[in-house]
Structures are given as structure tokens and as C-alpha cells.
Structure 1
Amino acid sequence: MTEQSKQRPEFRNINLLKDLPTYRMAPAAWVSILHRVSGLLMFLLLPFIIWMFDKSLSSEISFDAFTSVFAGSFGWLAKLACLALIWAYLHHFCAGVRHLVMDVNHHAANKQTGKSTALTVLVISLALTAALGAKLFGLY
């Protein structure tokens, strides 16, 4: 055997139950996965978005019906769906801008910049979601 064959790395399959709970993903991986989740969430909640848009613009009576949904006994559920949409839009937008910057500036496509921009996306999207969620739930 040659010296080179002894130094080759060993690749193995990942055991779902044993390896995944201990596997630590990079922030860029989390942003990438959450970018896909936010896109799926916006797509799945599209009927709710269309319903909200229709009820809010049709007439004064429909707007009152629209606002009564958020003030009723299940208002917290509608607000929670809106909060999910707010997070999905903000995260998808911030991650999309990050991807565009990395596509335009190829010097930004390295490991350190990827980590810092991923953390920036997470912080900005969560901070804006918290601020808009506080407004949605009437904290200010």
C-alpha cells in the first residue's frame, strides 16, 4: 500500500437517530434551510394572504369583519398566522438579499463572510419580527 491510500478520509453514512442530534450545523446552513421553509410557509399561507387582502379592501363592512377576526376568541390564532407570515417574509427577503450580494460580489462567497452574513440575516429577521410582532399583539 502506498502512503497516500492510508491518508484518505473515511466517508460513511449518517445514522439519523445517532448522528443528527449531535451534528452542529453552520449558521449558513440554518439560513439556507430556513430560507426554504419560509418560502414554503408563504406558499402554503397564500390563501390566507389573499383572504386578508380581499377582506381588507372590499368594503367597510368586510373590513370590520376582517378586524373582528383578530379581536374575536380565536384572534390569537389569526395573529399567530400573521406573525408566521411576517417572519417568513422578513427572513426570505433578508436571505434573498444575502444571496444576491454573494452572487454579485464573488469575494463575499467565502467561509468567514458566509458565517457573518448568515448571523446578520438571522439577527435582523428575528429583531424585525419581534418588533412587528409586538405591534401586532398590541404591546405598543
Structure 2
Amino acid sequence: MTELNSQPKRARPEFRNINALSDLPTYRLPPAGWVSILHRISGAIMFILMPFIIWMFDTSVSSEISFAKFTSVFSVGVGFIPGWFVKLVALAIIWAYLHHFIAGMRHLWMDINHAVSKEFGRSSAIFTLGLGSLLTLVLALKLFGAY
């Protein structure tokens, strides 16, 4: 009797645990992976900084005097916190909002169309990263007084 399947067996892939110190620095994450991770990070930043966001909104709209105090915090600082640090925290909130919004629109667009190719995922991820970075840079220049 002859064997029906006379082809040689292919070697099965070897799965092993990932070593964070040696494997992760050499792993190349695709742009869509970066957008996904940064989407989660931006959501966490907005959640953690929510008390600061509420304080900024409340102080800026309460009265003219409180608005003057609010704007002075960005130039002089508050307590032991310098003004440039407050600007950096505000810039982190700006980046988090912009990235989260743009990436959220990307995810909604992909959910609506149901047919997403690998190339569209890559190009839309690059667009998301680029647009979020560009808008953050423009607003950073405005925040730090370049124009």
C-alpha cells in the first residue's frame, strides 16, 4: 500500500514568549498599529487631565477677572509651576484631543465602509499621524507666541 500523502511535512512555526528587552526594540509596528496605540494613549491623557481641562474652561468663562488670571498662568505660572510647563500640559491636551478626534473619524470611516484594504489602512494611518502632528505644531507655535 502506498501512502496517499507522500509530500514531506513542512516545519511548523515555532512560537515562543516575547522578550521585551530583545524583541520589542527591533519590532517594526505598522502605522495603523501606532495610530491605534496613540488613540488609546490620547484618550487616557484626556481622562487623566480632565480636572485641569474643567479648571481651564471654568476659569476662562467665569468673568473678565478670572480670564485675566487664566491667561497670566500661561505666562507667569501658578505657585511653583512655571508658565512654560502649563503651556506644555495644555499642548499635551491639544495633541491628545486632535489625535483622538482624527483617529476616531478614521475608525468611524472604516466601520461605515466595511471593506477596508491593507493599503487604505496604511495610507489613512499615515494621514492621521501627519494631520494630527501638523495641527499640533501649528497650535504649538500659536501657544508659544510664534505668531
Same fold (TM over 0.5): yes
1:1-140, aligned counterparts within 5 Å? 3=7, 5-73=9-77, 74-107=82-115, 109-140=116-147
Cα pair distance change 1:5/1:36, threshold 3 Å? farther
Cα pair distance change 1:4/1:115, threshold 3 Å? farther
Output one character per residue of 1:100-131: Cα deviation in whole Å (capped at 9) or x when no partner. 01001122x22111111000000000000000
Aligned residues: 139
| Larger proportion of helix | 1
Larger mean CA deviation between 98-107 and 31-40 belongs to 98-107
Q: Any unmatched runs of 5+ in structure 1?
A: none
RMSD of equivalent CA atoms:
1.6
TM-aligned CA deviation for residue 6 of structure 1: 2.5
Q: Any unmatched runs of 5+ in structure 2?
A: 1-5
Instruction: Kindly name which structure, 1 or 2, has the bigger radius of gyration based on alpha carbons.
Output: 2
Q: TM-score scaled to structure 1, two decimals? A: 0.93
Within 1, Cα distance between the matches of 2:93 and 2:137? Answer: 13
The sequence identity of aligned pairs, in percent, is 62
Letter matched to residue 137 of structure 1: F
Letter matched to residue 88 of structure 1: A
Q: TM-score scaled to structure 2, two decimals? A: 0.89
Any idea what SS the aligned residue of 1:18 has?
A: coil
